Amino acid sequence: MKLVILKNSLREGLLAVERATAENANLPILKNVLIKTFNNKIQFFTTNLEIAVSKQISGKIVEEGSVTVPLHTLLTITNNTTSERINLETNRSTLVFKTDNYEATIQGLPEEEFPLIPKIENTKNHITFDADRFKEVILKVVNTIQLSEIRPEISGMLFDFQMTYVKLVGTDSFRLAENTISDKEFTTTFQRGFKVVIPLKTVQEVLRTLGSGSVSLFFDPNQVLFKNDDLEIISRLIDGNYPDYEPITPKSFETELVIEREHLMNAVKLVSTFSGKVNEIRLQLKEGKKIVEVYSVNQSLGENKYLVPVKAKGDACEVSFNWRYLMDGLKNFNDTEFFFGLNGSHRAAMLKSQANASYFYILMPINSQ
């Protein structure tokens, strides 16, 4: 194999696939990148056996071929070379890296020893989104997801496809976010709906590496493929049923607030300085008042409070929340004002836009009694 590649192209390719490598004493080749010419294209492949990423880059192919080498070694050399033009060529299972003033020989392994890159059997049915819009929707749910060994079914994002919408959902059992994409924002060849759970690390990889343009999703019973012009991410799906969250989704509220988003965010930032180990802050609405008091106390530091004007309907209330979880929800709104529905100190609260019904954020109070 002989290739001529620009430094930026080589670096872009390696960065796109680096997160799918793995340190594995029993299978050290998992830290390698497979560099391969295929159909007159240069492609990079990595896998950690849970997820596989491939990236196509531009360059001149002088001789076809393939090799696998430690990715981070090649990336470090690429980052530090000052030359824009790089020559790569193989000598059996080694890769020779050459510029006008530098040369390195990197020990590698033949392609035959690299794990088989999985393939999606279903190449007919797919769902296609605008990539920027798809990432925007994911960003509003991904921060509610946490890895759980006890409940692996919530260690990923629910992808609920129906013919007229797609719902993306994340939860860690303390909060939940749902974002909906209408059928006006995607095209599909599927003829019926389905639900799958995509692992958190896969979702994070999609957010990190997916560029602009369009992205198509293909599904097998156990795998998902994200594909655009030059990038493919294939991943296992999480086995198991996502919890039914409809019963805990509030349908009505004892207390309804309309609050200026930036004002409450500023209050939470300031008051959280005195929050304790459980990140607790308290929101209190007194009878007949148009002000919410945001309060926190720390026995070793002191206490503070911040008064936030609100438009209020319903009962007076006093509710405690984890301020980090509350802030995560607030960050996901673009509106000047938002709706905050409360149901006392023991039942779920909801944040949602007044103008856009496609997204909501559910937050459980802290029971401090």
Given a contact cutoff of 8 angstroms between Cβ atoms, the answer to whether 45 and 54 are in contact is yes
CA atoms of 86 and 103, how far apart (whole Å): 10
Phi and psi angles of residue 221, each rounded to the nearest 5 degrees, phi first: -55, -30
Question: What's the mean per-residue pLDDT of the chain?
Answer: 94
What pLDDT does residue 299 have? Answer: 83
Q: What is the dihedral of CA 10, 15, 20, 21, to 10 degrees?
A: 70
Predicted confidence (pLDDT) per residue in 119-162, tens digit:
999 889 999 999 999 999 999 999 999 998 889 999 999 999 99
Measured distance CA(251)–CA(344) in Å, rounded: 14
Say yes or no to pLDDT of 256 above 80.
yes
**Contact criterion met (CB below 8 Å) for 154 and 338:** no
| List of E strands, 58-91 | 60-63, 66-70, 85-91
Tell me how far apart the alpha carbons of residues 138 and 132 are, in angstroms, rounded to a whole number: 10
Percent of the chain with pLDDT over 90: 88
Is the pLDDT confidence value at 369 over 60?
A: no
DSSP string across 101-115: S-EEEEE-B-GGGSP
The least confident of 32-36, 97-101, 355-359 is 355-359
Overall average pLDDT of the 349-359 stretch: 93
Strands (E) across 269-301 are located at 280-285, 291-298
Contact 35, 90 (CB under 8 A): no
Q: Across residues 237-262, what is the average pLDDT?
A: 95
Q: Is 244's pLDDT higher than 90?
A: yes
Provide the pLDDT confidence category of residue 23 given band limits of 50, 70 and 90: confident
Q: Which structure tokens are listed for 252?
A: 């009505």
CA nearest to 179, candidates 355, 325, 341, 361: 361
Q: 127-236, which class in CATH? A: alpha beta
User: pTM for this structure?
Assistant: 0.93
Assigned token pair, 174: 């303390």
Nearest CA among 43, 40, 32, 38 for reference residue 10: 43
**Per-residue pLDDT tens over the stretch 76-118:** 999 999 999 999 999 989 999 999 999 999 999 999 999 998 8
CB under 8 Å, gap of 24 or more: what pairs does 327-331 form?
327/265, 327/268, 327/269, 327/272, 328/143, 328/144, 328/175, 328/361, 329/175, 329/177, 329/361, 329/363, 330/261, 330/264, 330/265, 330/268, 331/265
CB 142 within 8 A of CB 203: yes
What number does CATH give the domain 250-363?
3.10.150.10
CATH topology of domain 2-113: DNA Polymerase III; Chain A, domain 2 (3.10.150)
**E strand or H helix at 142, and its extent?**
helix 131-142
Mean pLDDT, residues 344-356: 93
- What are the sequence ranges of the domains in the chain? 2-113, 127-236, 250-363
Say if residues 319 and 342 touch (Cβ distance below 8 Å): yes
Q: 216-220 — which CB contacts under 8 Å span 24+ positions?
A: 216/126, 216/127, 216/128, 217/126, 217/127, 217/128, 217/129, 218/120, 218/122, 218/123, 218/125, 218/126, 219/120, 219/122, 219/125, 219/194, 220/120, 220/121, 220/122
Write out pLDDT tens, residues 210-219.
999 999 999 9
The answer to whether domain 127-236 and domain 250-363 are alike in fold is yes
* Beta strands 302-314; 317-322: pairing state: unpaired
Length of the chain: 369
